[in-house]
Amino acid sequence: TSFYRTPRSLSSLSVLSSSIASLAITGDLLEHFGLSSSYPSELHISCLYGERSKVRAFLMDKGVVNSTDAQGKTPLMYAVIGKQPKCCVMLLRSGAEVDLKDQSGMTAILLAAKYEYEDVIKVLLKNGAETHHTDKGGRTVFHLASVSENYKCLEYLCRYGSPAGMNIRDNSYRTPLVAAAQAKIPGHVQRLLMAKADLGISDSQGRTALHYAVLYNSLPCAQAIVETSVRKKYVYTQCRIEG
């Protein structure tokens, strides 16, 4: 059984892309993403707007590819934020370090997951981006993708990424699987389990993903857990909730 409904309609995702494109035309991307006070270089700005000819010229100076703005964000991060996968490829081929962190602990792939840019996630994964790095809340890219309505983000992580970040608990002691169950997204629950997410990991109160499916009254998530677990020959049936 596939537990994916149409998560978020493709039309709504295209609206998001269109809004970014219109902001790029009007020159408002810096303001929109809160970057206007970060003193970005011209290279950073060119990456944000996808101005590849300018980026190519700036990269003639090998020392600028990993330069940072006042928030510690690199040109690669600006290309990610602006949803510019081709600029990302240019930067990575020129020596951009894929897993650098900004001052808030965000890496390029964490930013891509935050903004639900599946094409950028795919580029970063194919260039060695790690999945175990965490943001200030202790969340990996798997946590962010597990509550995203764009199912392709999680699909690409499971298909191309290392499983290293799949079973990490965040600052609330939730794994990505627990987060997906809490968000009531059965398709994500099923995909994570098929990708070897550990169903037995619990939060600080001993609650597993199955507990969360029951607590949040999500029969489809509970069904996804049981059906997928049976298929994989293990089932966690002890689901006593202690109040």
CA 176, distance to chain mean position in Å, is 11
List the chain pLDDT tens, one digit each, 243 residues: 655 554 444 444 444 555 555 555 546 889 999 998 999 999 999 999 999 999 999 999 989 999 999 999 999 999 999 999 999 999 999 999 999 999 999 999 999 999 999 999 999 999 999 999 999 999 999 999 999 999 999 999 999 999 999 999 999 999 999 999 999 999 999 999 999 999 999 999 999 999 999 999 999 999 999 998 776 655 444 444 343
pTM of the predicted structure, to 2 decimals = 0.85
Given this model, what pLDDT does residue 235 score?
47
Q: What is the pLDDT of residue 191?
A: 96
**If you search the block for the tokens 């995203």, which residue do you land on?**
148
Amino acid at 97: E
Please name the CATH architecture into which domain 1-104 falls: Alpha Horseshoe (1.25)
Contacts of 14 (CB under 8 A, 6+ apart): none
Q: Hey, where are the domains in the chain?
A: 1-104
Site of tokens 């070897």 = 196
What is the crossing angle of helices 151-160 and 186-194, to 10°? 0
Do the Cβ atoms of 146 and 113 come closer than 8 Å? Answer: no
- At 157 the pLDDT is 98
Residues in the chain, total:
243
Return the axis-axis angle of helices 151-160 and 118-126, rounded to nearest 10°: 10
